């Protein structure tokens, strides 16, 4: 057994969703969930097929995001893993639709942070053990930090 970390390669401004699904139909269903959630969203997705030809299947409407998805899916190489990279939208806007895709088993992360994927490889194949999303906490928020957090949420329009 070999355990390794794979850094998700992406521009800082790009968001990623990493999950696990169980059926090749997921490629089309995830695509439909994305376009049905946010008008104008630009995205690319890739799915690591776990049987048959075992290909990286892909879809999307942005060549740049599709290429990121294919490249990172191949680097992770874990059966039934999927990645969605997006611009002009945020995970909060699409995450419920992604979770509602019947084939989706789990979401490992949805982030714009630097992400590392902990992957185990055996003689059968590879699987995701977990993710490292961003950095570790540097302390506990103060009253000023609370005020800043609340102001940021209102600035982005997530709270009134």
Q: Mean pLDDT throughout 111-129?
A: 96
- Assess whether pLDDT exceeds 90 at residue 105: yes
Contact between 2 and 121 under an 8 Å Cβ cutoff? The reply is yes
- Assess whether pLDDT exceeds 90 at residue 28: yes
- Assess whether pLDDT exceeds 90 at residue 157: no
N-to-C CA span, the chain: 50
Each residue's pLDDT tens digit, 65-88: 999 999 999 999 999 999 999 998
pLDDT for 116 equals 98
Q: Mean pLDDT throughout 47-69?
A: 96
What percent of the chain lies above the pLDDT cut of 70?
A: 100
Residue count of the chain, please give it.
Answer: 160
**What CATH architecture is 2-155?**
3-Layer(aba) Sandwich (3.40)
């Amino acid at each position: 057994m070999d355990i390794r970390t794979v850094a998700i390669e992406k521009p800082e401004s790009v968001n990623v969703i990493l999950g696990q699904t169980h059926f090749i139909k997921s490629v089309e269903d995830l695509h439909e969930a994305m376009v049905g959630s946010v008008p104008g969203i630009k995205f690319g997705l890739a799915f690591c097929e776990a049987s048959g030809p075992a290909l990286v299947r892909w879809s999307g409407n942005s060549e740049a995001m599709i290429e990121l998805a294919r490249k990172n899916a191949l680097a992770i190489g874990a059966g039934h893993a999927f990645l969605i990279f997006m611009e002009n939208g945020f995970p909060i806007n699409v995450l419920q639709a992604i979770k509602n895709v019947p084939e989706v088993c789990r979401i490992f992360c949805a982030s714009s942070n630097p992400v590392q994927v902990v992957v185990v490889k055996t003689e059968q194949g590879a699987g995701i053990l977990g993710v490292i999303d961003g950095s570790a906490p540097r302390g506990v928020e103060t009253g000023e930090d609370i005020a800043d957090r609340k102001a940021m949420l209102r600035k982005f329009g997530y709270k009134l």
